[in-house]
Amino acid sequence: MTDNGYPPFRRYRRMRHSEGLRRLARETVIAPDDFIYPLFVTFGTGVRREVPSMPGVFQISVDQLPREVSELRQLGIGAILLFGIPEEKDELGSSGYAEDGVIQQAIRAIKQADQNFVVITDVCNCEYTSHGHCGVLHGEEILNDETLPLLVRAAVSHAAAGADVVAPSDMMDGRVGAIRHGLDETGFINTPILSYAAKYASAFYGPFRDAAESVPAFGNRRSHQMDPANRREAFMEIETDIQEGADGVIVKPAMTYLDVVSGARERFDVPIAAYNVSGEYAMIKAAARNGWIDEQRVILETMTSIKRAGANLIISYHAKEVVAWLRDSRVASEDMLERVK
Ligand code: PBG
C-alpha cells in the first residue's frame, strides 16, 4: 500500500501536465511535406467554380494553374494529385489519353510554371467516359483485360506530358503490371506508380463524383472497388500491386479505414498514402458551418490520426488550410492551438 492507501499505480498524467511536457511526449507530428493536394482541372478558360458540396474546393481551368501552383508553393505544399474534367466524353474515354487532353495540358502548364512541383495524376476512365464507368463495357459488365490498354495509354500520355508520378485508381486487376510495362517500353523507366491499391466501394466519394462529373450512368462500382467489410483482402491487393511494380500505395477512404492503413504499415515498407476523400471533407465542412464542431481542431485531429495510423502521406482537400495553420502558428497538433489563440 502507498501513502494514499491505494495499491500502487502509474501516473501517466505526469507527462500531460503542461503543454511543454505534452510536446516532449508527442508521438505524431504533421508537417507540410506530408500533404498532397487534390485538384480538379476543367476545360475552358478563366474558370474557378466552387464545388457546392465541397466549400473551398474549386474546379479550375488550365490557365489558372500557374497561380494555383504558386499559392501552393507559398504555403509549403509541393505536390498535387490531378483530376481532369474533359469537354467531350465518349464510350472509351478517349479524351483521357489525348495528347491535348485537359490533364495533359494541365501537366504541361504546371511544369512550365514550376518545373520542380510534383505532379501526380489520377489514372482512371470514369471522368472521361460517357457512361461514367471506369472501364470498357460489354452490356452492363465492366471488362477487366480490355480496359488495361486504355489505362496504359493514359498513364504513358501523362508521363509524356511531364507527370512525375501516375496513380491508377480504377481497381482493375493487373493494371499496375500493365502500366509498369507500358511506361518502361516507352522510356519512362523513372516514372513511379502510386497505386490506389486498397480502394473501397465507398459512399464517401459522393461529392467527388459531383465535382468530377463522374457519376455512373447506371449501376455502381462494386464489381471492382473493394467491399468495405474486408480488411485481409486489402493486404492481398497491396502485396500484389507491390509485386507488379507499385512504388507506393494508397488506402482510400482514410477515416473509416484507419485499421487498413495501420495493418498495411506493419506489413509493408513502401510509402503509404491515405486519401481523406470528398465525403469526409464535406461532413466536416457541413458540421462546422452549422457551428456544431470546432473546425480547426477537428481537422487537425483528423490529420494527426491518419498519420498516427501509419500513413506517411495524406491526400486531402484540407491540405491548404492545414499547412497554413501549421505555418502561421507553428502548431503541430490540435493541442497547441490553445496557446496560439
Ligand atoms: C476515380 C476516383 C474517385 C476518387 C478518386 N479517384 C471516385 C470514384 O471512384 O468514384 C474519389 C475521391 C474523393 O471522393 O475525394 N477516378
Q: Whose CA is nearest to atom 11 of ligand 1?
A: 205
Q: For residue 155, what are the contacts with CB-CB under 8 A and spacing of at least 6? A: 123, 166, 168, 179, 182, 183, 193
| CA 224 to centroid of ligand 1, rounded, Å | 13
Mutate to test the pocket of ligand 1, among 158, 169, 172, 283 (most ligand atoms within 8 A of CB): 169
| DSSP per-residue letters across 67-118 | HHHHHHHHHT--EEEEEEE-S--BTT-GGGT-TTSHHHHHHHHHHHH-TTSE
Cβ 307 vs Cβ 270: under 8 Å: no
Rounded distance, CA 51 to CA 60, Å?
Answer: 10
Rounded to the nearest angstrom, the distance between the alpha carbon of 26 and the centre of ligand 1 is 33
Report residue 118 as a C-alpha cell: 510534383
- Find the 209 Cα to ligand 1 centroid distance in Å: 7
Nearest CA to 231 out of 262, 271, 272, 203 is that of: 262
Number of residues written out for the chain: 341
Domain 28-340 has CATH 3.30.420.40: no
Minimum-distance ligand 1 atom for the alpha carbon of 38: 15
Q: CA torsion angle for 204, 169, 102, 205 (degrees, to 10)?
A: 0
Catalytic residues: 199, 252
* Å from CA of 261 to ligand 1 middle: 18
Best of 205, 226, 252, 316 to mutate for ligand 1, by most ligand atoms within 8 A of CB? 205
| Minimal-distance CA residue to ligand 1 atom 5 | 169
The kind and range of the H/E element at 146 are none
183 within 8 A of 155, measured Cβ to Cβ: yes
- 312: how many CB neighbours lie within 10 A of its CB? 14
Atom of ligand 1 nearest to the CA of 205: 14
Ligand 1 atom with the smallest distance to the CA of 278 is 15
The atom of ligand 1 lying closest to the CA of 214 is 10
Distant-in-sequence, close-in-space partners of 4: CB < 8 Å, separation ≥ 6: none
Map out the domains of the chain as residue ranges. 28-340
Question: Which residue has the least CA distance to atom 16 on ligand 1?
Answer: 124
Our mutation pick for probing the ligand 1 site, out of 124, 127, 142, 171, counting the most ligand atoms within 8 A of Cβ, is: 124
H-run or E-run covering 138 = strand 136-138
Cα-to-centroid distance, 172 and ligand 1 (Å) = 14
Q: Give, for all 341 residues of the chain, the pLDDT tens digit.
A: 678 899 999 999 999 999 999 999 999 999 999 999 999 999 999 999 999 999 999 999 999 999 999 999 999 999 999 999 999 999 989 999 999 999 999 999 999 999 999 999 999 999 999 999 999 899 999 999 999 999 999 999 999 999 999 999 999 999 999 999 999 999 999 999 999 999 999 999 999 988 888 889 999 999 999 999 999 999 999 999 999 999 999 999 999 999 999 999 999 999 999 999 999 999 999 999 999 999 999 999 999 999 999 999 999 999 999 999 998 866 555 565 655 44
